[in-house]
Amino acid sequence: MDKETLLYQYFSNQLTPKEQEAFDALLETDSEFKEQFDFERSVQEVIRDQKSSDLKEKLKGFEREISSGQEEKVVTLKPEASFNSYKKWMIAASIALFMGLGYLGFDNLSGPNYNRLYEENFQNYPNTAYAITRGETDEDTLKREAFVAYETDNINEAISLFKRLKQKEDSETVNFYLAQSYLQANQTQEAITLLDNVIKVNGEFKPQALWYKSLAYLKLKEKDKALVSLNALVEDGRYKKTEATGLVKELD
């Protein structure tokens, strides 16, 4: 799938899990793709804000920025800059068209932007469970290596080590951090299974598990299941209550 199609699929909430992996990889490795994504996301934000009274001023400022800055860049930058400038004009024209039609329900046309909601709210949970010091036993050494891999974003290694640790210590903590590692590796269903185990224990990490389970369901675009977890988190009240309340409002 080409980059333009990936972007279209992203903003229309139609990426498959495999396409999402390709999309995430491009964001990490392709600076031009990342720049284009950031720009188009900012346009989406303008569209979502069109109910506000200053939308027309935002559009005028957007057009002024293009006309004053982009024409000079076309002369001095590499050839694709002219294409990017043209694309920006087309997007600006699209916004103007929606405004001219008076269509203020655009954002509701395709439903919630699950990818955006996930990206805006997901941040891997810090290691609050294990102080990384040199272990004295084999089990301590394995736990230390697992959390070192986790803290250094060596996610595949962290998954492997936490899975080995889980065979020896099937604890709430190990399940929670293995679930975190799965989320970062885009193995969402595996993460949900472990988060369910954490929630059932009803221990220290239950509210955090509810939050990340909600985000996992957002990534899978399973709105009803996400709402169940979010409402449970709001009722619990110990963690991310404000954020969960905001997501409930966006999804309802």
Shared domain for 58 and 140, answered yes or no, is no
Q: pTM of this prediction?
A: 0.61
Shared domain for 45 and 128, answered yes or no, is no
Inter-residue contact 126 to 153 (CB < 8 Å): no
Provide the residue range defining the domain that includes 74: 3-107
User: Which of 212, 210, 200 has its CA nearest to residue 236?
Assistant: 210
Of 107, 128, 156, the one marking the end of a domain is 107
Residue 115 lies in a domain: no
pLDDT of residue 206: 97
pLDDT of residue 126: 94
- Tens-place pLDDT, residues 95-124: 555 444 444 444 444 568 898 899 999 999
Shared domain for 75 and 177, answered yes or no, is no
Mean pLDDT on 245-250: 94
In degrees, to the nearest 5, what angle opens at C-alpha 151 toward C-alphas 150 and 157?
30
CATH value at residue 216: 1.25.40.10
- C-alpha–C-alpha distance, residues 203 and 216, integer Å: 20
Q: How many CB atoms lie within 10 A of CB 206?
A: 21
Residue 113 lies in a domain: no
CA 29 to chain centre: 17
Residue 63 has pLDDT above 90, yes or no: no
Shared domain for 132 and 56, answered yes or no, is no
Which tops the pLDDT comparison, 89 or 174? 174
